[in-house]
A and B are shown apart, each in its own frame.
Chain A
Amino acid sequence: MDVNVTIKENIRIRAFYLFFIIVSIQIGVGLLGAPMYIFTEARQDSWISIIIALVYLLLVLFVMFRILNQYENADILGIQVDVFGKWIGKALGTLYIVHITIALLSVLVTYIEVVQIFIFPELSSLIIGFLLLSLIIYGVLGGIRVVIGIVFIIFFLTHWLLFLLYEPVMRMDMTHFQPMFHASIIELFKGAKATSYTFMGFEILFFLYPFIQNKGKAKFPVYLGACWSAGIVLINTVIAIGYFSPHQLEHLEWSVLSLYKIVTFPFVERFDYIFVAVWMMVVLTTMMLLMWAITYGLKRLYKIPQKTTLYLTSFILLVICGFISYHYLVIALTDQVARIGFWITYVYPFLLLPLVLLKKRFRKNKKGSEGK
């Protein structure tokens, strides 16, 4: 397996799409429940937690860029093989892909649950799963360019939902934020950690980086994207805290969805139905990017054709999502993904960077001595 990849000119993408990719992969099902999880840890100071999380996020992204920039045109799979050798590298790569697969499964299962809770209590998980997966297959079959096109277009097709929050904003109670700075540092960090599931997904950068046409301009869109999605989470959390009483929010699992419940128009009485349906687009972009990463990753590692992986993974996911139909299972899965994902996404880059730097130094020395 080559460490560096050569990407054909016609499937390269311009760097500014990274902004949309980062936002779409971070904003997904996680956002719907995020306010409750953060609130239970950091109470009315949750907004500080989100800012801490953002700072940490930017740090991780910075480290990721440092790692990627040590190579000409490599992705995480190639880098791991380079640093750890063929066998361990491939094993770690496989682990990475398994992590992404499980993350994909958790998104799928969570969204199915939301649909069943809010719109169709009787509709079978298999059918919703089939609908979603068929779209994913159809999209991923078009390759990375089509996937990013979907991400780009759906970004604009869904962001108008944010404007509808004006109605709960009008009814916010500012006393819910007092007393400020009440939470201890530990609680704040715990609150920040509670965002890890929501913000997860930006590790896609490790896969997509070789596809970027103008790498020099890649950093800004990525940082901006992280800030943007953190901003969205922040806005939603702040509104949720202001709108719901603390006692209520503690038990409100889909608090963001509940915010949309009170939005009414003269022609639409309940907006949360439309919100759940439109949210399908948002979730779809996340899942498509993850699915693409799975197929591409397995092709890189084991030279399995992407189509085979695509069909096989979809089939397996469909079968599994038919089984996971109890709420506690969904919660357990999400928690697992969040726990393992925390180490893989938020900690692992910090461990990888020194190794990569060492390896580079080592190689340079070797080359230097050979030169002598």
Chain B
Amino acid sequence: MRRNRNRKTNTDSIFPLKIDELKKIIKDKFEKNPDLTFNTYEQNNKKIAVFFISYQTDPDKVENFLLEPLLKIDKEWTGPTIKNEIPLSPAATANKLEDILRNLIIGEAFVYVEDEDAAISYALIHKEKRQVSKPENETVVLGPQIAFTESLITNLNVVRWSLRSTDLVLEKILIGKRAPREVRLIYMKSIANETHVNTMRQRLQDLDVDEIEDSNVLSQYIEDSSSTIFPQFYTTELPDRFCYTVGKGRIGVLVENSPTGILAPSTLFSFLESTEDLYMRWNMGSFLRILRFVAMFISVILTPLYVAAVTYHYELIPPRELITLGQSRAVVPFPPIIEALILEFLIELLREAGARLPTKVGQTIGIVGGVIIGQAVVQAGLTSSILIIVIAMSALASFTAPSYLMGTTIRVIRFPMIFLAGMFGLIGIIYGICFLIIHLLKIKSLGEPYLAPVYPFRWADLNKALYRAPYAYQYKRFLSFRPKDLLRFKKREAIKKHDIDE
């Protein structure tokens, strides 16, 4: 079997051949592409071809370190001598046309001496990338102010520096049949749950698509359920968050040309958890985390509650409020549900416009929309002034989600809730909440329950999801996901209590 394969590779080899033939073959493949540079030199009666794509390679390196030694040193060049004498590393040999073409595209320069068995290639890759910059979407006040960039090399570099351990595995997987893209599966060998790693690897390898556009797209391909509105994998642009999560035994995925990393498995609570909770002291961190839960609840419930109360349950509203509300609503021509939908729609418009417009104009839009339109809408008698407060509050609350995806999800959920409240009042709202609970219970992330550690209930994990305990008490990793190594450090020494005057 093996011998057969060997023979096959031998027959695949296009070498040895004349330089002119090679030139013809390569040029044919790059039809109407003027970018291929194919130079032929003659030295000691031997023809040498050097070919590369000019903008994919670093021109300085090609000239100074490849062409100069090659032409200056007076030698009879053969494959091995080139490898030995040219001061570049690493040199690889290729003899198959496919390999040559594939590597040409990613910026390798090839040297071929006539009638040799193989061409020698140097990775003189030139890739344009932006500098690492501050995070734009997931801003944090404390902690590292650095975000992933589009360059996979840079990202890997950042990750490696954060997790300086030989435990860290960065598996390379190519995804995409037509235009393959490099994807890295990142995990800690001695901590990550084997099943998770295998599942993720399986999903990545089995992915049969022509190309993937971005890591957000990839995460949608490999999610457990595509019908739900909830994101199942956390996508982050923060290397510190990425490394923290991977370091605790979960799995990260980085995709070439994408400035976001995928983290799996994720729970609902991880979407409401910011790395800032960790940098704060535990009590402040817990406060902020609980604040976010409350915010999410308010964001989903407040507007529907208004609609329900004003449409069906006047009795809920205390008399004095009722008078104000009645006066305010007296001029409004719509039923409450239309009123609320108009205003919600307005807020969504503002948000979308703010996100699409250039930063400077975006700020203006915010002011125009928030202050002027809000004021005018009430004066024009289109909505009641209390509704403005309600809508503004729920919009504000939805923006507290550290994950932009989750924030959007919450905002979208609000619309069916408003409809339910408009149709069935409080019963409708509770119906919606029950539906959400059942739905969340059914979702899985990489085969793990989405609501862990609340259900299945794990007491020991609550301090990582619902609130944050002091670090001395966080001596365990996330039990629900069964890491290989549960203990982070020894409990006894960490929380040793001293007697008075000891």
- Given known A131-B424, A135-B435, A268-B316, contact A149–B430 (CB-CB < 8 A): no
For B437, what are the chain A residues with a Cβ–Cβ distance below 8 Å? Answer: 150, 153-154, 157
Q: Is B427 an interface residue (CB 8 A)?
A: yes
| Binary A-proximity of B315-359 (CB < 8 A = 1, otherwise 0) | 111110100000000000000000000000000000000000000
Q: What 15 additional pairs, Cβ within 8 angstroms, besides A154-B434, A281-B434? A: A16-B457, A115-B427, A120-B425, A128-B427, A138-B438, A150-B437, A150-B441, A153-B437, A153-B455, A268-B316, A269-B316, A269-B319, A273-B313, A280-B430, A281-B433
For B457, what are the chain A residues with a Cβ–Cβ distance below 8 Å? Answer: 16-17, 152
Which residues of A119-138 are within 8 A (CB) of B?
Answer: 119-120, 123, 127-128, 131, 135, 138
Instruction: Name which residue of chain B comes closest to A275, CB basis.
Output: B426
Contact B438–A277 (Cβ < 8 Å): no
| Binary A-proximity of B429-451 (CB < 8 A = 1, otherwise 0) | 11101110111011000000001
For A280, what are the chain B residues with a Cβ–Cβ distance below 8 Å? Answer: 427, 430-431, 434
For A142, what are the chain B residues with a Cβ–Cβ distance below 8 Å? Answer: 438, 441-442
Q: Is A185 an interface residue (CB 8 A)?
A: no
Q: Which of A127, A149, A273 contacts B315 (CB 8 A)?
A: A273
A/B interface sample: 26 pairs, CB < 8 A: A14-B456, A115-B427, A120-B425, A131-B431, A135-B435, A138-B435, A139-B438, A142-B438, A146-B438, A146-B442, A150-B437, A150-B438, A152-B457, A153-B441, A153-B454, A266-B318, A267-B321, A269-B317, A270-B313, A270-B315, A273-B313, A274-B316, A277-B426, A281-B430, A281-B434, A284-B434
- Given known A142-B441, A269-B318, A270-B315, contact A119–B431 (CB-CB < 8 A): no
- Given known A149-B441, A280-B434, contact A120–B315 (CB-CB < 8 A): no
For B441, what are the chain A residues with a Cβ–Cβ distance below 8 Å? Answer: 142, 146, 149-150, 153
Q: How many A-B residue pairs have CB under 8 A?
A: 86
Contact A273–B424 (Cβ < 8 Å): no
Contact A278–B315 (Cβ < 8 Å): no
Cα-based distance from A278 to B433 in the complex (angstroms): 10
Q: Is B312 an interface residue (CB 8 A)?
A: yes
Instruction: With both chains docked as a complex, state the minimum distance between the C-beta of A140 and any C-beta of chain B, in angstroms.
Output: 10
For A128, what are the chain B residues with a Cβ–Cβ distance below 8 Å? Answer: 427
Cα-based distance from A209 to B437 in the complex (angstroms): 25
For A152, what are the chain B residues with a Cβ–Cβ distance below 8 Å? Answer: 455, 457
Contact A119–B427 (Cβ < 8 Å): yes
The chain B residues found within 8 Å of chain A, CB to CB, are 312-313, 315-319, 321, 424-427, 429-431, 433-435, 437-439, 441-442, 451, 454-457
The 10 closest A-B pairs by CB, nearest first: A277-B426, A149-B441, A149-B455, A270-B315, A277-B430, A269-B318, A139-B438, A146-B441, A142-B442, A280-B430
Cα-based distance from A273 to B316 in the complex (angstroms): 7
Cα-based distance from A268 to B454 in the complex (angstroms): 30
Cα-based distance from A149 to B426 in the complex (angstroms): 23
Instruction: With both chains docked as a complex, state the minimum distance between the C-beta of B366 and any C-beta of chain A, in angstroms.
Output: 30
Cα-based distance from A170 to B107 in the complex (angstroms): 81
Instruction: With both chains docked as a complex, state the minimum distance between the C-beta of A304 and any C-beta of chain B, in angstroms.
Output: 23
For A146, what are the chain B residues with a Cβ–Cβ distance below 8 Å? Answer: 438, 441-442
Contact B434–A270 (Cβ < 8 Å): no
Cα-based distance from A274 to B427 in the complex (angstroms): 9
Contact A135–B434 (Cβ < 8 Å): yes
Instruction: Name which residue of chain B comes closest to A285, CB basis.
Output: B434
Q: Which of B312, B430, B456 contacts A278 (CB 8 A)?
A: B430
Instruction: With both chains docked as a complex, state the minimum distance between the C-beta of B298 and any C-beta of chain A, in angstroms.
Output: 13
- Given known A152-B457, A268-B316, contact A119–B426 (CB-CB < 8 A): yes
Instruction: Name which residue of chain B comes closest to A268, CB basis.
Output: B316
Cα-based distance from A120 to B426 in the complex (angstroms): 10
Cα-based distance from A138 to B439 in the complex (angstroms): 8
For A264, what are the chain B residues with a Cβ–Cβ distance below 8 Å? Answer: 318
Contact A270–B427 (Cβ < 8 Å): no
Contact A135–B317 (Cβ < 8 Å): no
For B321, what are the chain A residues with a Cβ–Cβ distance below 8 Å? Answer: 267
- Given known A135-B434, A280-B431, contact A270–B442 (CB-CB < 8 A): no
Contact A119–B425 (Cβ < 8 Å): yes
Cα-based distance from A278 to B438 in the complex (angstroms): 16
| Binary B-proximity of A55-88 (CB < 8 A = 1, otherwise 0) | 0000000000000000000000000000000000
Instruction: Name which residue of chain A comes closest to B451, CB basis.
Output: A149
Cα-based distance from A16 to B434 in the complex (angstroms): 23
Contact B438–A269 (Cβ < 8 Å): no
Instruction: Name which residue of chain B comes closest to A280, CB basis.
Output: B430
Instruction: With both chains docked as a complex, state the minimum distance between the C-beta of A101 and any C-beta of chain B, in angstroms.
Output: 22
For B442, what are the chain A residues with a Cβ–Cβ distance below 8 Å? Answer: 142, 146
Instruction: With both chains docked as a complex, state the minimum distance between the C-beta of B451 and any C-beta of chain A, in angstroms.
Output: 7
Contact B427–A120 (Cβ < 8 Å): yes
Instruction: With both chains docked as a complex, state the minimum distance between the C-beta of B354 and any C-beta of chain A, in angstroms.
Output: 32
Instruction: With both chains docked as a complex, state the minimum distance between the C-beta of A89 and any C-beta of chain B, in angstroms.
Output: 34
For A131, what are the chain B residues with a Cβ–Cβ distance below 8 Å? Answer: 424, 427, 431
Cα-based distance from A153 to B434 in the complex (angstroms): 10
Cα-based distance from A268 to B317 in the complex (angstroms): 6
